[in-house]
Every structure is written in C-alpha cells, then in structure tokens.
Structure 1
Amino acid sequence: MEKLITRKEAAEILGISIATLDAARNNGLISYVQYVQNGCVYFTAAGLQEYIAKCTHRAKPVERSATYRKPRSGRS
C-alpha cells in the first residue's frame, strides 16, 4: 500500500494553501482517501501527480498583430 499524505503535507508539496486543496477536492479535481465519513482526508502520490497533470497548461505562442495595419514608425 502506498504511503498516505495528509492535507497539510499535500498542500506543501503542491505549493498551495489547504483551503485551495479542499476546494479542488470538493470540485472533484483531485482524488483522495477517506476511510470514515467526516474523518481524516489523505492523498496518494499518484493522485497528486494526476492533479498536477490536469492543472498544467501548455504555453501558447504570442499572437502577432490582429490587424493588417503596420505599426507606426517611432516618432520622437
């Protein structure tokens, strides 16, 4: 069985606050383990990696001009 990670440790690993971690958990963005209803919440390393993968976005190239007009030459 994998080592279970507490809420505080998971928040430190991800670099987010516990409130943000709880919001992600309540929205279904991150998987968790809870043995008893209203009991302690734990996370797995695999669950944290899945959350990081979901929240990672690829950088988009910078859009050039949206128009066909040329920029004005530098005036002094």
Structure 2
Amino acid sequence: MEKLITRKEAARILGISIATLDAARNNGLISYVQYVQNGCVYFTDMGLQEYIAKCTHRAKPMEKNATYRKTRNAGA
C-alpha cells in the first residue's frame, strides 16, 4: 500500500497553500483518499505527480521581433 500524505505535507511538497490544495481537490484536479465522509483527507505520491503533470505547461517560443522598431544600421 502506498504511503498516505496529509494535506499539510502535500501542500508543502507542491509549494502551494492548503487553501489552494483544497480548491484543486474540490474542483476535481487532484485525487485524494477519504475513508469516512467528513473525515481526514489524504493524498498519494502518484496523485501529486498526476496533479503536477496536469499543471505543467509547455513553454512557448519567444518571438524574434517583439517591437515594431527597425534596428539601426551600424555602417550608415
């Protein structure tokens, strides 16, 4: 059986607040374990890894000419 991680530990591992973690859980973004209704909530390492994968976005390439100005000619 996988080790269960408390809310406080999970928030620390992810680098987010407990409130943000609870919001992600309530929105269905992260899986959790709860043995009884209104009981303690736990997370698994696999669940945290899946959440990180969902929240990871690929970097977009930077545009070459971000401005409309033309560069000066050194010889002119």
What letter corresponds to residue 31 of structure 2 in structure 1? S
What letter corresponds to residue 71 of structure 1 in structure 2? K
* Bigger Cα displacement from structure 2, 41-50 vs 56-65: 56-65
2:27 maps to which residue?
Answer: 27
Q: How far does the alpha carbon of each residue in 1:8-33 deviate from its partner, in whole angstroms, 9 at most, with x for none? A: 00000000000000000000000000
2:3 maps to which residue?
Answer: 3
TM-score (norm 1): 0.85
RMSD: 2.0
How far 1:60 moved relative to its partner?
0.4
Runs of 4 or more above 6 Å deviation: none
Percent identity, aligned pairs only, is 83
* Count of residue correspondences: 73
